Structure 1
Amino acid sequence: ECPIDLAAWIQFLCADACVLDDPAQRTRVLLAGHSMGGVKAIYSQTVAPDARVCGIACLSPPHFCHQHWMNHQLADAFRESYQQARGFVESGRPNELMQCRQPVPFVATAAGFLAKYGPEDTYDILRLIPQLKSPSLVLLGGRTAGSSPAFDLLERRLRQMSATSPNVAFELLAGEDMSYSQQPEQPFRLISDWWMKQDSLQSMD
């Protein structure tokens, strides 16, 4: 549903004449999201890309790769929830509510858990980012990078990706947590600087 939600918000933003004084600029959107919002921004622009989105900035987007979670030594709680969800679905109870502990404590239906974290890897950002048509920037706090199976592959893989693709940029913010509480203005500054560079490059095309 997130592609529909984001498309509606983009339409609302672009249709509001009060947003920008220059009508020619009103159709250019930088889509930004934090945590799961970052995943949704990436996912929405791979399955239903919007021509008005000229860039995507993601802060601490978690990595949902089923096999990685199933094999990870710190993911016992995830494996427990996955097996429980499979059991409910296979017994005809897909709407059974489950209290899950990983990736974060939350409540989900069995079917919802499998849709989000199952082997289809629907929301695997490392699979999705190369499919983006817009330039993308991913920010990750240094303290977040090794804190969970949701983040421990991201630094290495995103550095590799950014080194080989001019459309992908990655910044690791040393000493920062998931909320960037040490220097909360730093993500905005990095995104602003990156976007000004992208804007200049796009203006030259």
Structure 2
Amino acid sequence: MSESSRQSPLFAFEAAQAPAGEPAGVEFMEYPFQGYHNLRCDARELAPAVSDVLGVSFPPPANRFVAADDIVVYWLGPDEWLIRTPSEYDARVVGKLSERLHGERYALTDISSGMTHIAVSGRSAEDVLRQGTPLDLHPRSFGDGCCAQTVLGKTHVLLGRRPEDDGVDVFVRRSFADYLLRFLFDAAHDNGYRFCRAS
């Protein structure tokens, strides 16, 4: 698909802000058009090869993620991981990984077109997210480098703690993104919120 014809899962939402009498307590930032690949393999056999290609310490511990040079690997299960890359890295990284693992037992599935990423930050971010998830988001339980699959609203998501601003990255399937953002807007209304999209 050409750059000009791609459409964000949240294309219907323009930059928006709900006033609450003071600066917004929550910021929602969409990062569209990233690369997402689901990797299934036996890490005991393939860890050195995957680490070498991606430049990260693979595999990450359970419910953790590792990152290097804008490539992030999230633990999903004992033999399953999500690889996130900037779109411009995607073909190169996936091509190298597929070439390196040729002949091995693994599955690498491109799910880029079915996912999007909403970063939630601000002083009220955790309060807003707690309205929709049973996951304990206190930094003692869900600190830097933590990730978990859970429910937010009525939607299955992957959450990851953002080390740069202590916010939370939310990864959601494209078909549920519109519903989820509306849920988050409603949850954040009393705190004030701002929505924008990364270029």
Larger radius of gyration: 1
More relative contact order in 1 or in 2 (CA 8 Å, sep 6+)? 2
Shorter-chain TM-score bucket reads: under 0.3
Considering fraction of residues, name the structure with more strand: 2
Considering fraction of residues, name the structure with more helix: 1
